[in-house]
Amino acid sequence: MKSIGVSDFLDFLIPLKKSDFVSEKVDEFLKSRTFSEDAFLPFIHFRDDTYGRNLVYRNEFFELAVLTWLPQHRTPIHDHANQRCWMLVEAGELTFKNYHPPTSDSAGLRPLGKSEVLKKGSPIYIDDDLAVHAITNASKKPAVSVHLYAGPIKECRIYNELTKRFEKKTLSYLTEGVWSPEGELIESRLCEPFLF
Ligand SMILES: [Fe+2]
In tens, the pLDDT along 142-181 reads: 999 999 999 999 999 999 999 999 999 999 999 999 999 9
Domain CATH code at residue 122: 2.60.120.10
Q: What domain range includes position 117? A: 41-174
Q: Quote the CA–CA distance of 34 and 91 in Å, as a whole number.
A: 13
pLDDT at residue 49, rounded to an integer: 94
Tell me which of 194 and 51 has the higher pLDDT.
Answer: 51
Report how far ligand 1's centroid is from the alpha carbon of 134 (Å). 7
**pLDDT band at residue 105 using 50, 70 and 90 as cut-offs:** confident
Flag whether pLDDT at 195 surpasses 90. no
Q: How far is the CA of 144 from the centre of ligand 1 (A)?
A: 14
Quote the mean pLDDT of the chain.
94
163 domain residue, yes or no: yes
If you measure from the C-alpha of residue 103 to the centroid of ligand 1, how many angstroms do you get, rounded to a whole number?
A: 18
The domain tally of the chain equals: 1
Tell me, in angstroms, the distance from the centre of ligand 1 to residue 80's CA.
6
The strand pair at 84-91 and 143-150 is best described as antiparallel
| Sign of the dihedral through C-alpha 6, 96, 130, 168 | negative
Distance 5 CA to ligand 1 centre (A): 23
Q: List helix spans (H) across the chain.
A: 6-13, 25-31
Mean pLDDT, residues 86-91 taken together? 96
Q: Between 194 and 47, whose confidence is greater?
A: 47
Expressed in angstroms and rounded, the spacing between residue 163 Cα and the centre of ligand 1 is 21
**Does some domain include residue 21?**
no
2 located within any domain: no
CA of 88 from ligand 1 middle (Å) equals 12
Q: pTM of the entire structure? A: 0.95
Q: From ligand 1's centre to the CA of 39, what distance in Å?
A: 22
Q: What is the pLDDT of residue 196?
A: 44
**Can you give the pLDDT at residue 15?**
97
Asked if the structure places residue 147 within a domain, the reply is yes
The pLDDT value given to residue 193: 65
**CA 146/CA 149 separation, integer angstroms:** 10
Asked whether residue 25 is domain-assigned, the answer is no
In a domain, 167, yes or no: yes
Overall average pLDDT of the 102-114 stretch: 86
Q: What is the pLDDT of residue 6?
A: 96
Look at residue 35 and tell me if it is in a domain.
Answer: no
Alpha carbon of 85 to ligand 1 centroid (Å): 7
Sheet bearing 143-150, strands edge to edge: 124-127, 84-91, 143-150, 63-69, 52-58, 175-179, 185-190
Residue 19 in any domain: the answer is no
The pLDDT value recorded for residue 34 is: 93
CA of 165 to the centre of ligand 1 (A): 17
The predicted structure's pLDDT at residue 1:
85
What values do phi and psi take at 109, rounded to 5? Answer: -105, 140
